[in-house]
Structure 1
Amino acid sequence: MGLTSNAALTLAILFAVLLFAGTVWQWPRLARRNWRAVSGRVGLLFATQLALFATLGLAANQAFGFYATWADLFGQEDGQGVVVDHASGSGSGGPLQVVDTRRVKERGGSRPESGGQVQRVDIVGRSTHIATPAYVYLPPEYFQPRYRTRTFPAAVVLTGYPGTAQALVDKLHYPRTALELAKNGRVQPMILVMLRPTVAPPRDTECVDVPGGPQTESFFAEDLPEAVVAHYRVGKKPGSWGIIGDSTGGYCALKLAMHHPGVYAAGAGLSPYYKAPIDPTTGDLFQGDEEVRDRSDLWWCLKHLPAPDTSLLVSSSRIGESNYEDTLRFIDQVKATGLTRISSIILDSGGHNFNTWRREIPGTLQWISGRLSGR
């Protein structure tokens, strides 16, 4: 029974309700003042509250996608699955393999030609050997005969930390939103490559090329586009790729667009921060390497590196987001570069959560669509 399954949540709710009813039913029998009655009351109250907190925790995890599995929750996930040797004739099928397909949850979308398709894939980096699962959204046009020779723009979409890639599909509704916007003529048909930045779980690598560790930035800047281009009809020229993320993914999106403007013509950070933290989830990211540390600080990059020829989007809220003042300062500093283009979404209020990001995603997809070309 999976951590994010409806069955687990339903069972937790049922267990909490039964404990509550049992407590009410047994309370008169435990009204005495002897040690057994007192212990019984304490035990029932403790069990009922524990069941209630477990139910709330499961519901919150389903809503916000913090952890994907029980192993992920308890820090036992170590599936870094390094795969090497993709030589011709090995039967591996290349660095990207489709393992499942599903339709977009949209009325009339049972056929991919009308509703698009979401494919669950496994990706292995050719140079970094990083292996990670992902979801790929293909628009209806991808399957239509008249577009059979067309290449499409692509946007990488990243979660926060720890996050789950499935939440980008089921909770933030990226494929459904892209489909609806394209049907209304507000965005061009795009391919979305959706995954979490935690490609070396459970460690939070902050999209850094860790000295002696996971080369996460190189994976997103080189291996991921290469694998997707080799499997799908995606534009190869500069201007074909963009990147979007929320929270940690937002920081990664901005950094990758700033560091690799020849790969990512646009980067959108929803509720981002602007400097890689060091905490128990990251470990020592820099290993004493000052260059790696400096490049992971976007404030330092704006001050000391040439302004990248790319477009950036940042979002925040006047009330509810802790990054509001930093975001205004970041906008001013990017504007001062004179080359890098900056846009923003500033809400009156909104917290650091899925509900806020769902309000920002339609505008973000329209913004990035206007800056990409599939040719």
Structure 2
Amino acid sequence: MSPATHGGFHLPPLALYIHIPWCVKKCPYCDFNSHAAGPQLPEEDYVKALLADLDADLAHVHGRELSSIFFGGGTPSLFSAGALGRLLQGVERRVPFAADIEITLEANPGTFEQAKFRDYRALGINRLSIGVQSFQAAKLKALGRIHDGDEAIRAADMARAAGFDNFNLDLMHGLPEQSLEDALGDLRTAIDQGPAHLSWYQLTLEPNTVFWNQPPSLPEDDCLWDIQEAGQALLAEHGYGQYEVSAYARAGKAARHNLNYWTFGDFLGIGAGAHAKLSSPAGVIQRSWKTRLPKDYLDPSKRFSAGQRVLTADELPFEFLINGLRLTDGVAAELFTQRTGLPLSQLAEARRQAVERGLLHGDPARLAATREGQLFLNDLLQYFLP
């Protein structure tokens, strides 16, 4: 089916985000909508709620198939393969899957999760994102993680043995009391596991977390800069190309689900606290979000939807570029009109000022930050605020 068009607008590809909000333990740095699991997870009730939630959003599909699915959390790998299988079957009955669909599951390295990797692969889940964060005992303890470095290494081995030739390792730097050598040691260990993709990003202190209220001792800015520079060089040396602020991949292994976010594609969001970005064939674009607390989400007397907001023409340039400019190569300039329905001329004056400041490349065919623009992305984005 050809995409719908309206004034240059093209109905974008469609993905699905599924939020599973339970963890074994809430980490002190985490500001995601995650909650410590009780002795018994309400798998069956939650799967039924997710499918009912999807039913309520089917009007936004507009004949499209799903290009990707991402199970996030929380710790989705706490759910059994049986429950996830029933969920995937239910989703596919409602929205067709692309022949080459990417289906990613976030997983922790704990032994309990590893034992299920082969079953997950048999369901059609073809990509894992394993939350390692560090391989060093002291750093893992400081982060409140419940696995150790050996378990993280075994998780990568188990992923390969289960048939996952495409898996991501999630790794942090700028950790409490971390030195340059500590950070590079973590990165070398991660590279040795042979992942197709590495998410390598700096720990930040977020409001409403334990670390925000009781901040740990983090490395000084000079050390953080050294870690960033040396780490990027090490990754490039081993064939991991940086394609986004914190994403590095071997050739052809960029995360397609995340690329859809960053190129202003559409995504349905189901589950407690899930967010969505959806377009109509007429070019109306909205963001929406779901009931946040699991107990409320599971309450049949309450609605799944917690709110929605249509993006105005004044807001769309910033909304588009806050995503696209995260990509190392930026995006084709024509994509702005295809995704927003607005003329590229609407950006002309802001682009001129950003180019003059040295934050944006001057290539008229692309919207891409310079090296300085990537380092000072917030400054660059100020030019495109409504």
State the TM-score, normalized to the length of structure 1: 0.33
Query: Greater strand percent: which structure?
Result: 2
Bigger relative contact order, structure 1 or 2, given CA contacts below 8 A and separation 6+?
2
State the TM-score, normalized to the length of structure 2: 0.32
Structure of higher CA gyration radius: 1
